[in-house]
Amino acid sequence: MEFTWNGKTYEYTIIRKRIKNIILHVKSDGTVYVSAPPRAPEEIIRHFIEENAAKLAAQAEQAKQRQAQAPDYTDGSEIPHLGEKIRLHYAAKPCQTVLENGILTVFARDAQEAQIAYRRWLIDTCVALYRQINREVYTAYTDAGYKVPLARIEIKELKSRWGSCTAKTGRISMNFRLMQYPLGCIYAVFYHEYAHFMEQNHSRHFYDVLYSVCPDYDRWDAELNHKGKE
Ligand SMILES: [Zn+2]
């Protein structure tokens, strides 16, 4: 099945499920899936698709673009890292994965091995970095006179959020994918989540708190969200 938008054709697949409403979903490779109740007529589904064509087409294009930019982990390929591009270099002899002058040296013979070494390195780097930023942001809040706990950080690979805060348990979840973005963006998410220790909702008070410790919050937030959340 297909629909067109702006002169372009998009395919979609219908999956029948025991659900009540029609649900549209664009996968990370840009394909469109429609979950529909067992007896929903195709006419109704088609109509529903057409009503949402603009949104679906935009999401599909975004997903395809993201996939085209995804690194392939070959020797010499580029990987986005903290808002910059780093270049992958395969070492001939076994060695530690190390980043120096924008070059990430990994011991690998093919893209699969390189990707594994890279992921391992990135997780370690992420844990160390988030831990350090967590301390800094905590200190900034307490220095400003706010009563906040030193958060326990959980690193997750989230699809739709950059972070979240569970004030009751003093826990903050941080998106692993932030490692692609500039440091300022990562700090901004930490500042945002810490502000939730003071105020749960995105109220005026919430932003008063946030801006008082992170005056350039809007700039980093715009940079992060301009590039598109999933
Ligand atoms: Zn929030």
Q: How far is the CA of 202 from the centre of ligand 1 (A)?
A: 6
Q: How far is the CA of 209 from the centre of ligand 1 (A)?
A: 12
Q: How far is the CA of 62 from the centre of ligand 1 (A)?
A: 24
Distance CA 86, CA 114 (A): 14
Q: Are 3 and 51 in contact (CB under 8 A)?
A: no
Calculate the dihedral angle through the C-alpha atoms of 87, 93, 99, 102, rounding to the nearest 10 degrees. -30
Q: How far is the CA of 195 from the centre of ligand 1 (A)?
A: 8
Q: How far is the CA of 134 from the centre of ligand 1 (A)?
A: 16
Q: Pick the closest to residue 103 from 118, 86, 115 (CA basis).
A: 86
Q: Pick the closest to residue 97 from 76, 115, 72 (CA basis).
A: 115
Q: How far is the CA of 132 from the centre of ligand 1 (A)?
A: 21
Q: Please count the other Cβ atoms lying within 10 Å of the Cβ belonging to residue 70.
A: 11
Strands 152-156 and 171-175: parallel
Q: How far is the CA of 171 from the centre of ligand 1 (A)?
A: 14
User: What pLDDT sits at residue 228?
Assistant: 41
Q: How far is the CA of 73 from the centre of ligand 1 (A)?
A: 34
Q: How far is the CA of 136 from the centre of ligand 1 (A)?
A: 19
User: What pLDDT sits at residue 158?
Assistant: 85
pLDDT tens track, the chain, 230 positions: 899 999 999 999 999 999 999 999 998 888 899 999 999 999 999 999 999 999 999 999 988 887 777 899 999 999 999 999 999 999 999 999 999 999 999 999 999 999 999 999 999 999 999 999 999 999 999 999 999 999 999 999 988 899 999 999 999 999 999 999 999 999 999 999 999 999 999 999 999 999 999 999 999 999 988 644 33
Q: How far is the CA of 192 from the centre of ligand 1 (A)?
A: 6
Q: How far is the CA of 226 from the centre of ligand 1 (A)?
A: 17
